[in-house]
Amino acid sequence: MNWEQLLSLKRQGDTSKRLRKEQDDTRLGFEVDYDRIIFSSAFRSLQDKTQVIPLSKTDFVHTRLTHSLEVSVVGRSLGRLVGKKILEKYPHLKEVHGYHMNDFGAIVAAAALAHDIGNPPFGHSGEKAIGEYFKTGNGAQYKSQLSDKEWQDLIDFEGNANGFSVVTTTRPGVEGSLRLTYATLGAFMKYPKESLPKKPTSNIADKKYGFFQQDKEFFKDVAKELGMISNKTGNDVGFERHPLAFLVEAADDICYTIIDFEDGINLGLIQEEFALEYMIKLVKNSIDSEKYKSLTTKEDRISYLRALAIGSLINDAVNVFLENEEAILKGQFHSALTDRSQFKAQMNDIIKISVKNIYQSKEVIEKEVVGYQVINTLLDKFCTAYNKKFEGTSSNYDELILKLLPEKYVTEKMSLYERLMHICHFVSMLTDGKALQLFKTIQGARM
């Protein structure tokens, strides 16, 4: 891979080439990506989507929206620091093509901002609930009518692949959805493969999948434009990662490791003493002991440690990337940057205590149980009604159910796969609160 291609400013539907040196620096293409994402309704809905504790109304807890903003900020720093060194190593990128270090930061920031945009309500349990409706619920009836890969899209419903659909799928009058640059789409794609074969290798790019069957042809076009390296044979589609996807992933890893831990402490789920014990190895070279001792509130002390820890992990991730940049360009680097971190053991320790005290806390489990019931009910009612309407067998009740669909979802889909994915997409785009409200309406609890 080469950076000239990887930094493509092309957008969906473009018929002519966009050159960096011809860009208006007051309205740079990669920064337009960020603006389009942040003004989208899909991004705004993250305000009422679970990050750690579902449906929590406490002041401390992060939503998907605040998490995404923080990941974006960390991603921008990672991109700029890497971009500065890349331009020093390949000066023609600036001298001939006009790229600046801020371009790298803008690409990573935009991709990081959108990294959770396709996640269903109720956190990762929402993804599992959609998959299990088809695997073990009433949705299992559709298996025989779908291809293996279409079926896998449903039973392993993936927020990353759904996010790619959110930012790229054309609707009547809205070509290419947000029409982001291909560089940003490449950086967004952490798992540039289809749903099968499942985890064919230990390569981090094969850990999950990144696009549904309905979006495969467009992603192949993106990958070709960017010069991404194919790593699958026959009829299977998959590629090595766009290099900047490693930075998007690192930003996410850094934020959820440190900030979920901070949330747990502020909520009283983790004792404050653990903060210094677990983070001291991350901050020992940067902490000002006198300043730390002068902070009188728990929130301020934890905030100070968090800021230093994130700074240490940013610098470390940049170093790992730059040390392996040539292998990354050749498609020969197959780990997350944080897996090669000098702080990997410390990050694992923090994640372990977060899993025990936060992710498996009674409040989280109780709300996830509610989420399963909500999502299962919504999928069943809407899939049944939508398919019956197509088949011409709908009842009056089915017609009433379909009237609950927002206007942009009132459209016909010809294949069963497209219809099922359409309803999955609708349910996945609901906020936690809206999903619960719809569930209560259907259950007759809001009369």
pLDDT at 128: 95
- State residue 98 phi and psi, 5-degree precision: 90, 15
* Pairwise pLDDT comparison (17 vs 339), residue with the higher score: 339
pLDDT at 49 over 70: yes
280 and 418 co-located in one domain: no
pLDDT at 267: 82
319 and 353 co-located in one domain: yes
Supply the pTM of this predicted model.
0.96
pLDDT at 298 over 60: yes
- pLDDT tens digits, 378-399: 999 999 999 999 999 999 999 9
Please, which pLDDT band fits residue 174 given cuts at 50, 70 and 90?
Answer: confident
104 and 248 co-located in one domain: yes
Q: Of 359, 381, 405, which residue sits at a domain end? A: 359
222 found inside a domain:
no
Q: How many domains does the chain have?
A: 2
140 found inside a domain:
yes
pLDDT at 171: 82
pLDDT at 366 over 80: yes
Q: Which domain holds residue 40?
A: 3-119+243-359
Of 257, 216, 256, 219, nearest to 241 by C-alpha is 219
What would the 3-class secondary structure string for the chain be? Answer: CCHHHHCCCCECCCCCCCCHHHCCCCCCHHHHHHHHHHCCHHHHHHHHCECCCCCCCCCCCCEHHHHHHHHHHHHHHHHHHHHHHHHHHCCHHHHCCCCCHHHHHHHHHHHHHCCCCCCCCCCHHHHHHHHHHHHCCHHHHHHHHCCHHHHHHHHCCCHHHHHHHHHHCCECCECCCCCCEHHHHHHHCCCCECCCCCCCCCCHHHCCCCCCHHHHHHHHHHHHHHCCCECCCCCCCEECCCHHHHHHHHHHHHHHHHHHHHHHHHCCCCCHHHHHHHHHHHHCCCCCHHHHHHCCCHHHHHHHHHHHHHHHHHHHHHHHHHHCHHHHHCCCCCCCHHHHCCCHHHHHHHHHHHHHHHHCCHHHHHHHHHHHHHHHHHHHHHHHHHHHHHHCCCCHHHHHHHCCCCHHHCCCCCCHHHHHHHHHHHHHCCCHHHHHHHHHHHCCCCC
434 and 289 co-located in one domain: no
231 found inside a domain:
no
269 and 340 co-located in one domain: yes
304 and 447 co-located in one domain: no
154: CB partners within 8 A, 6+ apart = 130, 131, 134, 139, 142, 146, 420, 421, 424
94 found inside a domain:
yes
Least confident of 35-39, 187-191, 325-329, 357-361: 357-361
95 and 105 co-located in one domain: yes
340 and 369 co-located in one domain: no
pLDDT at 52 over 70: no
**Mean pLDDT, the chain, integer:** 94
190 found inside a domain:
no
| Encoded tokens for 347 | 């990050």
Q: In angstroms, rounded to a whole number, what is the distance separating the alpha carbons of residues 241 and 334?
A: 9
Q: In angstroms, rounded to a whole number, what is the distance separating the alpha carbons of residues 406 and 379?
A: 15
pLDDT at 61 over 70: no
274 and 417 co-located in one domain: no
- pLDDT tens digits, 251-287: 999 999 999 999 888 888 899 888 888 898 899 999 9
440 found inside a domain:
yes
330 and 401 co-located in one domain: no
Q: Of 359, 379, 400, which residue sits at a domain end? A: 359
291 found inside a domain:
yes
Please, which pLDDT band fits residue 57 given cuts at 50, 70 and 90?
Answer: low
Q: In angstroms, rounded to a whole number, what is the distance separating the alpha carbons of residues 71 and 254?
A: 8
Dihedral of alpha carbons 135, 136, 139, 144, sign:
positive
Q: What is the mean pLDDT of residues 142-150?
A: 98
Report the CATH number at residue 314: 1.10.3210.10
pLDDT at 15 over 70: yes
Q: Of 326, 359, 392, which residue sits at a domain end? A: 359
pLDDT at 59 over 70: no
- pLDDT tens digits, 70-123: 999 999 999 999 999 999 999 999 999 999 999 999 999 999 999 999 999 988
81 and 15 co-located in one domain: yes
65 and 8 co-located in one domain: yes
pLDDT at 401 over 60: yes
188 found inside a domain:
no
